[in-house]
Structure 1
Amino acid sequence: MRTPLRDTVALGAALLAPPAVAAVLVPFRDDATNATLALILVVVVVAVAAIGNRTAGALAALSAAAWFDFFLTRPYQQFTINDADDIETAVLLLVVGIVVSQLAARARKLQVIAVTDAGQLARLHETAQLVQASGSPDKVVDHVRRQLVDVLELRGCRFEYDSLLGQPPRLEQDGGMVVARKHWDVERRGWPEGEIELRVFGNGHYRGRFMLRPGPGSVPSLQARLVAVTLADQTGAALNTAGPVLEH
């Protein structure tokens, strides 16, 4: 699966930013408490997650905890901690860093959805209620299929439970489009030709895909595409306990 440039940059920052900031804090380690130094590193983790994704945030948290140990706890410049309070601080840095990074990544994904109109928000709310109340994943799939037709102004939409045949254009989790493994500018070029896949995942596993047939001349906004991705996520939640797990 193609990794967006923004996420690639964030992964690099997750590896490089924590050691760089920890090294900058070395002259202050005798004057500041380790809790204060750890909080500064948490800010770095949040910044990485805000520009990247959950993976980048988690990697930044692990990196921050490791370099906090290396640069800012005794014995210095060793991945060893002797003091019990420092161990506790390092563990808290890791846990807090992971938690807040996941929240920051989630906020990034939802920041555009937050400004959509009431109708779009109502779709998400209605679908979430159906996922919770319905005992039939097929019912959720059919409901989301109809919602996608409306949200994206499609000519049609179908769901495939067990197919990964071919390499059709793909609507990505960030609302972007990939065609032949290259970014496709939807705003400038409109939908690509042919059917477009929107993959559905449940608990990190591939569950199927919606195959979208765009309407003539339609150019859905980024907000609409993100709503569509979120609807697909809700489908994944409904399918999470149904059917075989397909590796991807």
Structure 2
Amino acid sequence: MPRYLDRDRLALLAAVVAPLAVAGVLVPFRTHFANANVALVMVVVVVAVAANGHRVAGALAALSATVWFDFFFTKPYEHFSITRSADIQMAVLLLLVGLSVSQIAARARRLQVIAITDAGYLAQIHDTAELARSSASPDRVVDRVKAQLTDLLGLRGCRFEFGSLLGHPPRLERDGTVSVGARSWDVDRRGLPTEEVEVRVYRGDHFYGRFMLDPTPGSMPSLQARLVAVTLADQVGSAFEQAER
């Protein structure tokens, strides 16, 4: 957990400091730069913070960029006041654009499809896919994937429910995120939920069942590990489909 806390603190620190630092670099040249160009540079800083942090850091960076744009680049300089309507519009646009792109950048970072390059992950996926194609019994694939998920996600246990959808437990989605009801659960900051988490098994539109994950308290599997987990669960759907032919 400290590793994630340190990263989040660094992102928040960068959100406050980075726009100020960039503004300080540009101040000596403010008479040679149009304020629109300065605002674009600030937006780039906001995107950089959001892409490497999270939504809160991105929003804070957008606010910080707007404040220092006002302080250093609108007249009267070095005052938190704006007298010209054009500068007011520019500051408001900077804030709105900064907030928007920070949300987009943070979401893109969260939902990006990570290339699975770890040799161990690739070997697990390959071996399970081969078993799904060759085995006459989907149960063998289910048992294999249960063991893999337990090890991969650091679980206390894992079971499989055939063709049932009882209750509304937290769910590991196909993009590696975890949802609790209608809300997104921040695994990177909070770890997996303490209650069982489902991973649904489909093949096309056909629902076969779900894995029920019993997380170890404090377990924080990476996004890459969660994507691998979903990929492994997909092989179970493939095994069921193969058995029906």
**Into which bin does the TM-score normalised by the smaller protein fall?**
0.5 to 0.7
Among 159, 174, 177, the alignment partner of 1:156 is: 159
Per-residue deviation at 1:7? 1.9
Question: How many residue pairs align between the two structures?
Answer: 161
Supply the distance in 1 between the matched residues of 2:57 and 2:212 (Cα, whole angstroms).
Answer: 29
Per-residue deviation at 1:113? 4.8
Per-residue deviation at 1:222? 3.8
- Do 1:196 and 1:211's aligned partners in 2 also have CA atoms closer than 8 Å? yes
Equivalent position of 1:68 in the other structure: 69
Equivalent position of 1:37 in the other structure: 38
- Do 2:15 and 2:57's aligned partners in 1 also have CA atoms closer than 8 Å? yes
Per-residue deviation at 1:227? 7.9
Distance 1:176 1:87, change over 3 A: closer
Per-residue deviation at 1:153? 2.9
- Do 2:197 and 2:214's aligned partners in 1 also have CA atoms closer than 8 Å? no
Supply the distance in 2 between the matched residues of 1:2 and 1:228 (Cα, whole angstroms).
Answer: 24
Q: Alignment identity in percent?
A: 59
Per-residue deviation at 1:173? 2.7
Q: In the alignment, residue 4 of structure 2 is paired with which amino acid?
A: P
For residues 126-145 of structure 1, what are the structure 2 equivalents within 5 Å? Answer: none
Equivalent position of 1:129 in the other structure: none
Equivalent position of 2:186 in the other structure: 173
Structure 2 SS opposite 1:213: strand
1:37-72 CA-partner distances (Å, limit 9, x unpaired): 000000000000011000000000000000000011
For residues 1-248 of structure 1, what are the structure 2 equivalents within 5 Å? Answer: 4-5=4-5, 6-113=7-114, 153=149, 155-156=158-159, 173-175=186-188, 178=191, 212-213=213-214, 222-225=223-226
Bigger-Rg structure (1/2): 2
Long gaps (5+) in structure 2: 118-144, 151-157, 169-177, 179-184, 199-210, 216-220, 231-245
- Do 1:197 and 1:212's aligned partners in 2 also have CA atoms closer than 8 Å? yes
Distance 1:2 1:99, change over 3 A: farther
Q: In the alignment, residue 173 of structure 1 is paired with which amino acid?
A: D
Supply the distance in 2 between the matched residues of 1:62 and 1:102 (Cα, whole angstroms).
Answer: 13
- Do 2:58 and 2:103's aligned partners in 1 also have CA atoms closer than 8 Å? yes
Supply the distance in 2 between the matched residues of 1:106 and 1:85 (Cα, whole angstroms).
Answer: 31
Distance 1:221 1:15, change over 3 A: closer
Distance 1:53 1:17, change over 3 A: same
Supply the distance in 2 between the matched residues of 1:27 and 1:84 (Cα, whole angstroms).
Answer: 24
Runs ≥4 in structure 1, deviation > 6 angstroms? 195-198
- Do 2:23 and 2:69's aligned partners in 1 also have CA atoms closer than 8 Å? yes
Per-residue deviation at 1:111? 2.1
Using the size of structure 2 for normalisation, the TM-score is: 0.53
- Do 1:7 and 1:51's aligned partners in 2 also have CA atoms closer than 8 Å? no
Distance 1:85 1:212, change over 3 A: same
Distance 1:18 1:81, change over 3 A: same
Supply the distance in 2 between the matched residues of 1:3 and 1:99 (Cα, whole angstroms).
Answer: 28
Equivalent position of 2:241 in the other structure: none
Distance 1:221 1:96, change over 3 A: closer
Supply the distance in 2 between the matched residues of 1:113 and 1:4 (Cα, whole angstroms).
Answer: 19
